[in-house]
Amino acid sequence: MIRIAEEVRRAGVRAVALETSVVAQGLPAPHNLDAARNCARAVRERGAVPAFVAVIGGEIVVGASDEELRRLADPARKPAKAGSRDLAALCASGADAGTTVSATCAIAAQAGLRVFATGGIGGVHRRVAPGDPVDVSSDLLEMSRRPVCVVCAGPKAILDVPATAEALETLGVPVIGFRTSELPAFYTEGSGVVLEHRVEDAAEMAKLLRAHFYDLGLGTGVILAVPPPSLLPREEIEAAIAAALAEARTRRLPGKEVTPFLLGRVAEQTAGRSVRANLLLLENNAGVAAEVAVALAS
């Protein structure tokens, strides 16, 4: 049920898992395919092998081809968004789907990959309206039980970042700053959440991962939080999110529609600068992940 591309199989730990929900749902065309190709190039330039994870025709693929990425990017095909809980149903129905952080973590671990690059992780959502149930992404649970290093720019800015950091601590998932002692918040360098541990380069991170995964066998994932290369003012982002939340409240949007709605509104209110920042941080994270994978494999 899992097809691993031969190049990825040969690379082993030197392969970097890449999610595909950003292609299927996360970014508008042509940015979605541009982002994927730029990430792949960044990985290859640093000596690692890109491994896009997806569901194609009901088959889980680790190392999706450019043709398969174009298939996911085609809105006429209406690809699904696959969390880890959706994988069995999507495989059974023969569907196409882009994988989220949770699904990519689960699949990468099964395929023997140890490093995964994404933009930002899911987490504890801000409540759209008082009395709403707490919405917690399955990303957190999967990272707590899959031995994969997730290289990201922290939690998505639309989340409750301090609550997400607390949840990760409760789940035993280490969060390591990459040349920073503050948890990034996707578009911004800092969130106010202090990190206890940091590394200065890929070799230091690889040493930490060897201790975590192999020497101690702790079994959880590890987050490497990388500050975004293109910063937006924190006050501007918070104002845009507050306005988007207020609109979502009046529209009474169902849970699954809230995140894409908020991200779309933030893009509008920042005149597209948030989309540009997203593209840059995706490529940057992929490059850092490749350096870590190469160091881990050496």
Q: Are 222 and 174 in contact (CB under 8 A)?
A: yes
DSSP 63: S
Name every residue whose Cβ is closer than 8 Å to that of residue 215 and which is 6 or more positions away in sequence.
none
Residues forming a β-bridge with 61:
3, 54
Instruction: Indicate which residues carry an active-site annotation.
Output: 19, 156
**What 3-state class would DSSP assign to 105?**
helix
Q: Give the tokens for residue 175.
A: 């969060």
The Cα–Cα gap between 147 and 125 comes to 24
Residues 282 and 35: beta-carbon distance below 8 Å: yes
CB-CB contact of 108 with 142 (8 Å)? no
Question: Of 124, 146, 240, which Cα lies nearest the Cα of 188?
Answer: 240
CB proximity list for 76: less than 8 A, separation 6 or greater? none
Query: Given its phi and psi angles, is residue 128 left (phi above 0), alpha (psi -120 to 50 degrees) or beta?
Result: alpha
Token pair of 47, please? 């000596």
Neighbours of 29 (CB within 10 A): 11
Measured CA to CA, the distance from residue 209 to residue 98 in angstroms comes to 27
Residues 187, 236, 25, 280: what is their CA dihedral angle, to the nearest 10 degrees?
-30
The label of the residue with tokens 């990034």 reads 184
